[in-house]
């Protein structure tokens, strides 16, 4: 079962995102600032990583920024790194302090990315600006940080009065007006003298939290709606021992999300209430943004879903946000289901449920050694789980599930739409998690809420799909079949290499070497797809000093999200059965993937390979990771 659960791990590493929470998978993300540019939503989060050796291990560690975008809030694209800590002239390149950012579009059409960082000289934090012609970067940091700001978590409000106001945290919440160049504070900002112990400092702008209830505050996000200005912020209210959201006293209080309203961007602001209560699992931070998109309002925030034992590695979420007629905000109850409509022919992750039975149903991690593998739903007899808003684009006659059933069991699938369709799914016993495809009576196209009920022996369900699988899911099903060819190892990828000329296999004279230039190709596997780069890489056969034929392959792969990975193979060609392609490698290819990238797991593996060679110069190399 271990190697099959690892296959799910590999799929999770794709970094793709779906409608469920958290919506970015395969990497840690926090502090999401959402903005709408040209009809598309862009999310600029901070990027939590595991602290490298020599860096404080029990604190936040952030080296760079990514940006993600979507036009439906369901399918998200990772555009890769847009700014790294080593690219900030005024910043400490080894501080790992790239905390919560923001991004706006200026009147000149360019995009201005605001971010905090620890300065190269001095202490505390500064706020810098990086500029790009595209919302997806790359962004170039300005030589110096913004003079007059000492703090974290910048947010820029583009107000209807024609001005731009920057908010920041650190020692309270402050706001100041920006110049039209969006790079400096305006000269007409008010100032005040603040005492910190024996020190006195002149602060630019206004302390916009003076009129708000006491308690630690950070991460301001400001927006305008119906002529009112909303200041929203993480807030630690009360003290240790006060009742938490479940009425029980907490060992230590965590951040709520609160808000206040004003008629003026610089206040004074009047406290109105909470947007979200404390984390029920005591994730210390919450950080957020609020955006309107296609007539609906959404709250972007974070939680430690993929890091239950360490709340400094967070993951971003989305839920809907609504207003009352008087402009006040209704409290948002965090959901696992998230937002948007899920396509039925993809993976319906029932563990991100809309509702679940109070008994005989539970959610667990697929792999507690690597939480990015996600979760599964366990249903005992009588247990059920419900998942809302599923779209079936054409009539379906099959249902696929990835299940683990130690005994045969019977499930009932209710498709609740304009009409209700109930389907009996008879699940055979499996060897660990397996993908099962079952024929069912035709299901009409339309939108449904799905309920899965167990009428038999206990079963674990990873995901469910209705109808002919989507292209990506069909690949995953194929990968599962390839996995069965090597039951003691984990299928990683298949590389299809195009060479310049035909390639033959046979004995060679000692010392001779055949070099076939690589001109292209593609590769794919669970959670990893891309192209083989041409040029500079050869495929060669040679005799080693002992007179045995060695095969050496050097590849440069580029993933679809722009990460370069190098592979170096060197192994002996061994004879085998025709069904095993006639020969195979006994080798341990060396994967070289960027440290802390979502493909970093490739650096830590030992692999076996089975190649096949076509007369047209095509080489197919399938690779499995040894457990």
Give residue-wise pLDDT tens across range 50-98. 999 999 999 999 999 999 999 999 999 999 999 999 999 999 999 999 9
Q: What is the pLDDT of residues 209-230, one digit of tens each?
A: 999 999 999 999 999 999 999 9
User: What does each C-alpha distance from 188 to 130, 174, 177, 222, 229 come to in angstroms?
Assistant: 24, 15, 8, 21, 21
pLDDT of 281 reads: 83
Instruction: Please give the pLDDT value at position 121.
Output: 85
What's residue 509's pLDDT? 47
- Work out the pLDDT band at 541, boundaries 50, 70, 90: low
CA distance 78 to 1: 31
Average pLDDT over residues 168-187: 96
pLDDT for residue 623: 81
Q: What is the mean pLDDT of residues 571-600?
A: 57
Distances (CA, A) of 281 to 26, 271, 308, 340, 361: 21, 26, 8, 25, 20
DSSP letter for each residue of 584-623: EEE---EEE--TTSTTGGGGG--EEEEEEE-TTSEEEEEE
Point out the residues that are catalytic. Answer: 31, 218
Could you tell me if 402 and 445 are in contact, meaning their C-beta atoms sit under 8 angstroms apart? Answer: no
pLDDT bin (cut points 50, 70, 90) of residue 11 is very low
pLDDT at site 4: 31
pLDDT value at residue 100: 98
Percent of all residues in the chain with a pLDDT value above 90, rounded to a whole number:
64
Among 222-231, 530-539, 555-564, 604-613, which range has the highest average pLDDT?
222-231
Q: Is the pLDDT of residue 347 over 90?
A: yes
- Rounded to the nearest integer, the mean pLDDT of the chain is 86
What pLDDT sits at residue 487?
57
What's the pLDDT at 603? 76
- At residue 562, the pLDDT reads 87
Find out whether the peptide bond into 138 is cis, omega within 30 degrees of 0: yes
- What is the per-residue pLDDT for 581? 36
* pLDDT value for 38: 96
Q: What is the pLDDT of residue 566?
A: 83
Strand 164-169 and strand 174-177: the pairing is antiparallel
Q: Which of 463, 451, 420, 444 is nearest to 20 (CA)?
A: 463
Q: Which of 140-149, 379-388, 555-564 has the lowest mean pLDDT?
A: 555-564
Quote the CA–CA distance of 572 and 584 in Å, as a whole number.
8
Do residues 316 and 32 make contact, with C-beta atoms less than 8 angstroms apart?
yes
Q: What is the pLDDT of residue 491?
A: 83
- CB burial of 152-180 (b: ≥16 within 10 Å; e: otherwise) equals bbbbbbbbeeeebbbbbbbbbbbbbbbee
What pLDDT is stored for residue 5 in this prediction?
A: 34
- Other Cβ atoms less than 10 A from the Cβ of 488: the count is 10
% of the chain surpassing 70 pLDDT: 84
Average pLDDT over residues 375-401: 97
| pLDDT of the residue at 488 | 62
Q: What does the pLDDT read at residue 573?
A: 52
Between 263 and 619, residue with greater pLDDT: 263
pLDDT digits (tens, 9 = 90+) for 285-296: 999 999 999 999
For the chain, give the number of residues. 627
| Secondary structure (DSSP) of 193-216 | EEEETTEEEEEESEETTTTSPSSE
For position 154, what pLDDT does the model report?
98
pLDDT at 109 exceeding the cut of 50: yes
Of the candidates 429, 438, 450, 315, which has an alpha carbon nearest to the alpha carbon of residue 375?
Answer: 315
Residues 460-484 have a mean pLDDT of 87
């Amino acid at each position: 079962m271990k190697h099959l659960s690892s296959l799910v791990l590999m799929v999770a590493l794709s970094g793709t995102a779906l409608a469920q929470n958290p919506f970015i998978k395969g990497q840690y993300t926090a502090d999401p600032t959402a903005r709408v540019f040209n009809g598309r939503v862009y999310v600029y989060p901070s990027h939590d990583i595991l602290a490298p050796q020599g860096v404080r291990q029990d604190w936040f560690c952030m080296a760079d920024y990514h940006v993600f975008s979507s036009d439906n809030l369901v399918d998200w694209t990772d555009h890769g790194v847009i700014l790294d800590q080593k690219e900030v002239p005024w910043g400490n390149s080894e501080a790992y302090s790239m905390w919560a950012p923001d991004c706006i579009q200026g009147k000149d059409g360019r995009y201005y990315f605001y971010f905090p960082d620890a300065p190269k000289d001095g202490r505390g934090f500064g706020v810098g600006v990086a500029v790009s012609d595209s919302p997806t970067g790359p962004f170039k940091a300005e030589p110096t940080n913004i003079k007059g700001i000492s703090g974290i978590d910048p947010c820029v409000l583009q107000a209807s009065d024609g001005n731009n106001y920057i908010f920041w945290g650190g020692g309270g919440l402050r706001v100041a007006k920006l110049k039209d160049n969006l790079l400096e504070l305006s000269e007409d900002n008010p100032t005040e003298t603040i005492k910190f112990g024996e020190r006195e400092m002149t602060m630019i702008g206004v302390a916009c939290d003076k009129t708000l209830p006491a308690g630690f505050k950070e991460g301001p996000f400001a927006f305008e709606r119906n002529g009112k200005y909303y200041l929203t912020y993480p807030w630690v209210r009360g003290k240790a021992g006060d009742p938490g959201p479940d009425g029980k006293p907490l060992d230590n209080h965590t951040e709520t999300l609160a808000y206040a309203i004003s008629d003026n961007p610089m206040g004074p602001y009047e406290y109105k209430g909470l947007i979200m209560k404390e984390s029920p699992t005591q994730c210390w931070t919450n950080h957020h943004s609020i955006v309107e998109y296609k007539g609906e309002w959404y709250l972007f925030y974070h939680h430690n879903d993929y890091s239950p034992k360490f709340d400094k590695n967070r993951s971003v979420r989305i839920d809907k946000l609504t207003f009352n007629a008087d402009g006040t905000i209704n409290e948002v109850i965090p959901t696992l289901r998230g937002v948007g409509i899920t396509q039925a022919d993809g993976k319906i992750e029932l563990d991100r449920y809309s509702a679940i039975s109070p008994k005989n149903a539970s959610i667990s991690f697929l792999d507690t050694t690597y939480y990015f593998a996600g979760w599964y739903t366990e249903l005992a007899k009588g247990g059920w789980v419900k998942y809302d808003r599923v779209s079936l684009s054409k009539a379906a006659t099959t249902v696929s599930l990835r299940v683990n059933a130690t005994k045969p069991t019977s499930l009932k699938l209710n498709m609740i739409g304009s009409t209700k369709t109930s389907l009996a799914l008879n699940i055979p016993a499996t060897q660990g998690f397996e993908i099962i495809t079952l024929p069912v009576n035709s299901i009409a196209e339309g939108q449904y809420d799905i309920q899965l009920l167990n009428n038999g022996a206990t079963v674990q369900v990873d995901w469910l799909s209705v109808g002919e699988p989507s292209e990506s899911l069909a690949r995953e099903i194929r990968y599962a079949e390839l996995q069965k060819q090597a039951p003691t190892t984990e299928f990683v990828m298949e590389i299809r290499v195009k060479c310049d000329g035909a390639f033959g296999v046979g004995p060679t004279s000692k010392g001779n070497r055949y070099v076939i230039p690589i001109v292209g190709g593609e590769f794919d596997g669970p959670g990893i797809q891309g192209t083989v780069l041409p040029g500079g890489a050869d495929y060669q056969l040679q005799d080693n000093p002992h007179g045995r034929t060695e095969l050496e392959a050097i590849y440069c792969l580029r993933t679809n999200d722009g990460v370069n990975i190098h592979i170096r193979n060197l192994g002996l060609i061994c004879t085998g059965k025709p069904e095993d392609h006639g020969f195979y490698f006994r080798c341990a290819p060396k994967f070289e993937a960027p440290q802390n990238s979502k493909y970093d797991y490739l650096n830590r593996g030992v692999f076996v390979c089975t190649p096949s060679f076509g007369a047209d110069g095509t080489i197919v190399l399938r690779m499995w990771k040894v457990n």
